[in-house]
Amino acid sequence: MSINTNFRHIGLTLFVFCLPLLLFVANVFTSYYSTSKLLWSDSASKSAVYFGIVCLITLPGFLLHCHYYLHDKGKNLKFQATYIELSNQLQTYRVYIKDIQKVEIHSLALRRLPWFNYGYTEILLNNGNRLKFTSLLFDTISSRNYFKSINTPVEQVEDFYTWIN
């Protein structure tokens, strides 16, 4: 698997973010038809509060998407019978299944936010190293199911905001 556009993750956030722009355009046209003048400032003031509220809701989703994209940009993830391979342009990490101590699946605690599908998987190895990949590379539900199928301990962690350190 490799990262692609993942529109299904950011699509709802983009839709919600565009609503205030549509409201602004609708206000401009309704004011034009009622007064025969383009009242930009009046339309902007009517939609500014709504735009501010929507920005407060969607901006964290945009930031999370950008952060996840930059974290997994250029990475490929392959699951083999005895190992997992995570590679980028410079190097390849091969993690053998027998070397995995446990897996933590980090997901969002609040399910009503537009970015609730975002999360990441953290693999803790026996030597103390950690390997992380986001839901843009491999979604958290499939990740949990895969690691449970190979009898690896899986811990579900619900975070307020699933930011990768």
130, 92: one domain:
yes
The pLDDT score that the predictor gives to residue 81 is 86
The pLDDT score that the predictor gives to residue 111 is 75
Q: What is the pLDDT of residues 124-139, one digit of tens each?
A: 999 999 999 998 888 8
85, 153: one domain:
yes
Instruction: Give the separation between CA 163 and CA 134, rounded to whole angstroms.
Output: 10
Residue 21 amino acid letter: L
Q: How, if at all, do strands 83-87 and 92-96 pair?
A: antiparallel
Q: Could you give the 3-state DSSP secondary structure of residue 9?
A: helix
54, 116: one domain:
no
Given 72, 95, 110, the domain boundary residue is 72
- Domain residues for the domain of 111 are 76-159
pLDDT of 160 over the 80 cut: yes
Instruction: Give the separation between CA 26 and CA 51, rounded to whole angstroms.
Output: 14
81, 65: one domain:
no
138, 123: one domain:
yes
Residue 112 in any domain: the answer is yes
- The CATH number assigned to the domain holding 108 equals 2.30.29.30
Instruction: Give the separation between CA 98 and CA 119, rounded to whole angstroms.
Output: 24
Residue 75 amino acid letter: K
Phi and psi at 155, nearest 5°, equal -115, 125
Instruction: Give the pTM.
Output: 0.75
Q: What is the pLDDT of residues 11-68, one digit of tens each?
A: 766 777 777 778 777 877 887 788 877 777 777 777 777 777 777 777 888 888 889 8
80, 147: one domain:
yes
Q: What is the pLDDT of residues 59-116, one digit of tens each?
A: 888 888 889 889 988 899 999 889 999 998 899 989 999 999 999 999 988 877 777 7
30, 60: one domain:
yes
Given 72, 92, 119, the domain boundary residue is 72
